[in-house]
Amino acid sequence: MKILGRHLIVEYADCDCILLNDIDFLEQQMNESVRVSGATIVSSKFHRYNPQGVSGVIVIAESHLSIHTWPEYGYAAVDFFTCGEEVDPYKAFEYMKKMLKSQNATVKELNRGIPSDRDEVIAHKPSATQSI
């Protein structure tokens, strides 16, 4: 694979249920996790469901982060998808684990990119003269 980015798929369990339903807290902390990771925020959009739960996405210059919460289960599903070698999605993962007070978290990392016979990391923003 010609690797363009890393995608962390995260399950946060045994979280603080009140925090998982607080849209302002979640948006603030997810945006801070972007800064902690070294990424650049482009746009942020969050929505609170009735009677509970929040979904949100942050578009970053390097891809996106998203969160979906189920306060009734103390659970949040979070994606940290980053491109380039300047951003560390694991810093965002650890930051959100602490902020959500998750007692049980799992993370799976997937490489994202162009199918190829061999693995290699390629620039996610090649110059106009550079070919892939």
Active site residue 83: yes
Neighbours of 131 (CB within 10 A): 6
Q: What tokens were used for 57? A: 């996405």
On whether the CB atoms of residues 11 and 120 are closer than 8 A, the answer is no
Tell me which architecture the domain covering 2-121 has in CATH: 4-Layer Sandwich (3.60)
pLDDT of residue 21: 98
> DSSP 3-state assignment of 87?
coil
Find the catalytic residue in 68, 102, 116, 124. 68
pLDDT of residue 124: 64
pLDDT of residue 3: 84
On whether the CB atoms of residues 14 and 104 are closer than 8 A, the answer is yes
User: pTM for the complete prediction?
Assistant: 0.88
Active site residue 63: yes
Find the catalytic residue in 15, 83, 102, 124. 83
Note down pLDDT in tens along the chain; length 132 residues. 888 899 999 999 999 999 999 999 999 999 999 999 999 999 999 999 999 999 999 999 999 999 999 999 999 999 999 998 889 999 999 999 999 999 999 999 998 888 888 888 887 665 555 554
C-alpha torsion sign, points 114, 120, 126, 130: negative
Active site residue 68: yes
Find the catalytic residue in 15, 33, 37, 63. 63
Instruction: Encode burial over 70-80: b for 16+ CB neighbours within 10 A, e otherwise.
Output: bbeebbbebbb
